[in-house]
Structure 1
Amino acid sequence: MSERHLRTLQATTILVCGVPLGTNDTQSLQNIFNTFPGGVKRIWLSYPAKGLQKDINKRVTIARKLEAAESTLISSKLKHHRKNGRRASHASTNPLSNDETNHLESRNTAISDESFPQELRPHHRPGSFPISLFSRCRGIRKVDTIQTYRTELIDLNTSIQTKQQEAMATVNEGQGNDKIIAAFIQFNRQLGAHLAAQAVIHRQTLAMEPRYLEVHPKDVLWDNLNIDYDYRVIRKMISILLATVLIIFWAIPVAFVASISKLDVIVQYAPFLSGIYDLPNAVLGIIQGVLPPIGLAILMMILPIILYSKKELVLDRFTAQVWTE
């Protein structure tokens, strides 16, 4: 075992789902899992908060867009500074030496808005694609990207903090305990975590199940943590049924695309397509030899994406990928 990995939080933490009512509090879980080697170090309960994960994902997306816009602005200012040069009037009245003045002006001009044209700042039309296209057709003016995203980040941070506080307050008041059915449990030793993940924890069938080892926060499907086991079974059955129907009916477009390679057979059943033979031989060769493989590749690429979108029946991305395969 790697000593470096043993010291990570991931190595000693397990995700426990299906925690039954009556044991879904910190003290009860502490008593249950303290029997394993090393005992429990820390417990995090999964508080149900409606819409919280959606806001968090949106915040991450906006933060990345804001970072890209800031980088674009810095690059534009540097180019504008190199193109227009420094203003000599500042150097004559500044008590610093010429080298120090040039160095400070080089830094300040790159980030100052005093001499930078506002039209060169990053702008975009409000709304995501394809809504932004309709905004352009309707003549909606562009907005300042950096100012808009900064405002949205402030609003999202406030919304996220409010939802977190409301969820914790509800649980602390004893009104939301019945909705807590998942917990992250950190052990003092990795051995304790592995034994806890494999042992029979509760006398009730399928209680404290499933349990996951080596779970990274980025791998957790947070929207699925507080889904009841019975409801998850129903959703799983529906997803499997829909996937089966989809795979069966997927054979129709696949057969159609594959049949394009045999135009003679298609023309026999659809004589109105006989005019296709008037096309140049090069075009016919592309239709029969190139389009079918490309079409089949696209169809085979889309199907796993659709199946993976039904990942609401699992709790981590690895399991969702295995289920899709």
Structure 2
Amino acid sequence: MVLKFLRMGIVIFSIATLFMVPILIPINVIGQLKSEGLNLLTIGNVSDVPRTWAHVILAFFFTVGLIYYTFRETRAYLVLRREYLMSPEFAESVVARSLFVPSIPKDVHNIEDLARIFNRFPGGVRRIWINRDLKDLPDDVEDRDKKVHSLETAITKTILSTYKYNNKKGIQPENGSDTEVLIPQELRPTHRVSSLPIGLPFVGRKVDSIDYYHEEIQSLNKKILEKQHLATNYECLSSAFIEFNQQIAAHMAAQTLIHSKELQMAPRYIEIAPTDIIWENMNIQSFSRLLRRMFSLSFTTVIIIFWAIPVVFVQGISTLESLSKLLPFLEAVQDLGPTVVGIIQGILPAAALAILVALVPIIFSMLSKLEGIPRKSFVELSVLHKFFFFQFVDVVLVSTVAGGIFNVLPDLTKNPASIINLLAEKLPRASTFFITYVMLQATNSAAQNLLQLVPYILSFVMPIFNTTPRDIYHQKRQCPTVNLGTLIPTHSVIFVLGIEYSTIAPLILPFVLLFFCFHYFVLLYQFMHVYERPYETGGRGFPRAIRHVYIGMFTWQITMIGLFAVRGNKAIGQLVVMIILLVAGCFSLALYDKAFKPLFKFLPIQCMPSKDVQRIKENAVAAGDVHRLDTNDDDKRVLFQTTSNRSDTNSFGDGASVLSRDNLSIDAFRYRTTLHDELKKEAKISEEENDEEEVKVMTDTARRLYETESYLHPSVCRNQPTVWIPEDTMGIAKQELSQLKSLGIISSTHYANARPNDKGKPKVTIDEENVIMENKGIPGERPSAAQLSDVNDFVRVVIDNYNFIDALGTVA
């Protein structure tokens, strides 16, 4: 949808450039005022008012075209969105059927009551995850991960140091010798341990790093395992994830009024991928979320207002001649020559403004997360709006007004009564700044995006610091990500500038077209070959970008109204037409919201597959409803059945009932333990009998385990990361593996080696073909239940892992 928005810009501004540039520029120039520089090409150069009818007529067609095209592209987007939501890969995933419910009252905050409430929807409830306060378990898991990485680093560096030491001494050790003999004492890594949050030199007791991390990881494994066993005993948070048997049920439950008390069990979210969850925001009440949002918006407003000060200063530089009349000491700058002054006035302000703008998204991201938004993707969408309005106010409005004011200030000091005529004449002069700004964004921004200079430099620098197999794996496996919250506003603000100055300074149109053409082809390549998204928004940023287009259209229409208003009675007709266009634009946006807004969020019942409709009918018949069911009333009948009637109905897609089925199958925390026990038994039978049918049974159980772990906090499911060290010819890694195994620490040397190169310098390498190209990953570590595409890898690792029981992790 980002590419579709760029294509939309290409089409609109291609047509605008084709008609407006050859028509308006001659009208603005020939036989009119003799303004300086590029201002000669703007509407401010027109003294013959009847000529402005050309601007009005083109404004009419441009407004109609914008409205038509936004409606047309939105309909196309909704078709794509429905195809995505109903695609087999997504529709059959746990994400498609799941609902996040916050602010759950204590009186219904249990498995039985939640199942009874949500079982009223078609197909009923399959699984419930009640979020819990895990206290320090996530911190312990994070601490263990760090210590595993530290141990890997210590062992790998020891192996490399020993290679160098033996090569220098001419020692040729035999493989399999005792570790203490192989590693000289002076090469064993050490570090200091203290209670301070930051390690300081010569502070704390000195310990042997390898032995220390052995003890720490062993202790943390026991502590974490005990806490993971007790996960169901932790205090419940005020939120839960509900998985339904049918996708349409999640959409219906998200739209239905659930609780009688205000701000309870709302707002609900659907289609949250596990990788998209912000776990810290799982216990925020709706009222608290409202207060947080008010604070966030207030602080955002303050930032936007006060950031205008440096923006005004930057814009003042672009009108150096006018500014120097107010500040005489700046006259010396004009003596530097036309080339230097041209650079200062043209390129420097645009570059400075780009730097100022780049600092803001970090603050907006923190504020959006503080609001209590439970999804990372929605934090991006929140930043998208904030960042756009920041650019719209500080880049478009403030820069426009500042440019005009600086141009007219010297004359205003002489004749204050001439403000109306001066603004009408000189306000369009601010377009010169935006032409250079758009040109800079079109060329420099696109080139930087394509070049990826920083990642390119880091690709040479990071291998120097990446010594362990895990470091090398992450460097080669992970792709850059792109933040839609900052990417889309940079496009939509250029869209706004193109609309704003389309009839005022048409010279900007070719540069806007150039911007969209360059960025389209650059991002087409980047999305195909460079960028990777850890979660999917379903194109939810597109309608927000369309709203920005309407904001730009309103701003342009109001500006045109102002330009005609200051011309007095001479432009009454033009003024009336532009007011009519503004009213028509507002009506179009209201119609747009009324027609499309619900479709952006939810899947229509009309699109529900016929097999699901048949399943609802069968459930209603099984419930004793022998009346003929009309298709349009199926969901209403199921939705409004009473709890008592539902208690004996087959609400599940597989024919099971909430109350007749073991509650463990609904409570994801407890059901996960059951699945682990089943996998143990099936793995033992499969190992003894080598039965293909039993492998299929295990595969099915592993898939259910994947779904069951989807919305558990990662720390509950997180196994000890495999201590992945490179195999060496000296036997250090071999003996280290033996020691780690005796301590119950999972470790491996699979696909990693440490060997001297042709020059005798030792180097760590990994088998990229297996761990990256074939996506086997780090040995012994299964993918988390996160992305849709991980399910097959998850099942494969669980089934094929050599150390199967240990890989299951939390169940002894």
TM-score of the alignment, normalized to the shorter chain, above 0.5: yes
| CA–CA distance in structure 2, aligned partners of residues 37 and 168 of structure 1 | 28
| CA–CA distance in structure 1, aligned partners of residues 228 and 173 of structure 2 | 54
- Does the 8 A contact of 2:124 with 2:245 survive in 1? yes
Question: Alpha-carbon deviations, 1:190-230, whole Å to 9, x = none?
Answer: 23222222222223333221111111222111111111111
1:226 aligns with 2:283: yes
Q: 1:5 is matched with which residue? A: 90
| Aligned-pair CA distance for 1:48 | 3.2
Q: 2:251 is matched with which residue? A: 194
1:252 aligns with 2:337: no
| CA–CA distance in structure 1, aligned partners of residues 148 and 316 of structure 2 | 45
Q: 2:381 is matched with which residue? A: 322
State the percentage of identical aligned residues: 36
Q: 1:309 is matched with which residue? A: 366
Residue type of the alignment partner of 1:232: R
| Aligned-pair CA distance for 1:309 | 0.3
| Aligned-pair CA distance for 1:56 | 6.7
- Does the 8 A contact of 1:62 with 1:153 survive in 2? no
Q: 1:21 is matched with which residue? A: 106
Match of 1:269 among 319, 323, 327: 327
Residue type of the alignment partner of 2:157: L
Residue type of the alignment partner of 1:28: D
What TM-score results when the alignment is normalised by the length of structure 1? 0.67
Residue type of the alignment partner of 1:244: T
Cα distance change, pair 286–57 in 1 and its aligned pair in 2 (3 A): farther
Cα distance change, pair 199–69 in 1 and its aligned pair in 2 (3 A): same
Question: Alpha-carbon deviations, 1:228-261, whole Å to 9, x = none?
Answer: 1111111111111111001110112233345556
| CA–CA distance in structure 2, aligned partners of residues 163 and 266 of structure 1 | 70
| Aligned-pair CA distance for 1:79 | 5.9
Question: Alpha-carbon deviations, 1:249-283, whole Å to 9, x = none?
Answer: 01122333455567774797384x89989999999
| CA–CA distance in structure 1, aligned partners of residues 135 and 320 of structure 2 | 54
| Aligned-pair CA distance for 1:40 | 1.1
| CA–CA distance in structure 1, aligned partners of residues 307 and 134 of structure 2 | 37
Q: 2:153 is matched with which residue? A: 69
For residue 128 of structure 2, give the secondary structure of its aligned residue in structure 1.
strand
| Aligned-pair CA distance for 1:30 | 0.6
| Aligned-pair CA distance for 1:162 | 7.8
Bigger CA radius of gyration: 2
Cα distance change, pair 194–250 in 1 and its aligned pair in 2 (3 A): same
| Aligned-pair CA distance for 1:183 | 0.4
Residue type of the alignment partner of 2:146: I
Residue type of the alignment partner of 1:226: N
Q: 1:243 is matched with which residue? A: 300
- Does the 8 A contact of 1:69 with 1:122 survive in 2? no
Residue type of the alignment partner of 1:38: G
1:36 aligns with 2:121: yes
1:209 aligns with 2:266: yes
For residue 41 of structure 1, give the secondary structure of its aligned residue in structure 2.
strand
What TM-score results when the alignment is normalised by the length of structure 2? 0.30
- Does the 8 A contact of 1:69 with 1:146 survive in 2? no
1:80 aligns with 2:164: yes
Cα distance change, pair 82–160 in 1 and its aligned pair in 2 (3 A): same
| Aligned-pair CA distance for 1:63 | 6.3
Aligned length: 293
Cα distance change, pair 158–118 in 1 and its aligned pair in 2 (3 A): same
| CA–CA distance in structure 2, aligned partners of residues 70 and 218 of structure 1 | 31
For residue 15 of structure 1, give the secondary structure of its aligned residue in structure 2.
strand
For structure 2, the residue ranges without an aligned partner over 5 or more in a row are 1-85, 385-812
| CA–CA distance in structure 2, aligned partners of residues 117 and 257 of structure 1 | 62
| CA–CA distance in structure 1, aligned partners of residues 101 and 365 of structure 2 | 23
Cα distance change, pair 312–126 in 1 and its aligned pair in 2 (3 A): farther
Cα distance change, pair 290–46 in 1 and its aligned pair in 2 (3 A): same
| CA–CA distance in structure 2, aligned partners of residues 261 and 143 of structure 1 | 62
- Does the 8 A contact of 1:122 with 1:144 survive in 2? yes
Cα distance change, pair 287–57 in 1 and its aligned pair in 2 (3 A): farther
Deviating more after overlay: 150-159 vs 37-46 = 150-159
For residue 43 of structure 1, give the secondary structure of its aligned residue in structure 2.
strand
| CA–CA distance in structure 2, aligned partners of residues 43 and 225 of structure 1 | 15
1:159-178 alignment to 2 at 5 Å? 169=233, 171=235
| CA–CA distance in structure 1, aligned partners of residues 343 and 214 of structure 2 | 50
Cα distance change, pair 140–258 in 1 and its aligned pair in 2 (3 A): farther
| Aligned-pair CA distance for 1:292 | 4.3
Deviating more after overlay: 275-284 vs 41-50 = 275-284
For structure 1, the residue ranges without an aligned partner over 5 or more in a row are 91-104, 172-176
Cα distance change, pair 253–26 in 1 and its aligned pair in 2 (3 A): same
Cα distance change, pair 19–298 in 1 and its aligned pair in 2 (3 A): same
Cα distance change, pair 61–164 in 1 and its aligned pair in 2 (3 A): closer
- Does the 8 A contact of 2:192 with 2:203 survive in 1? no
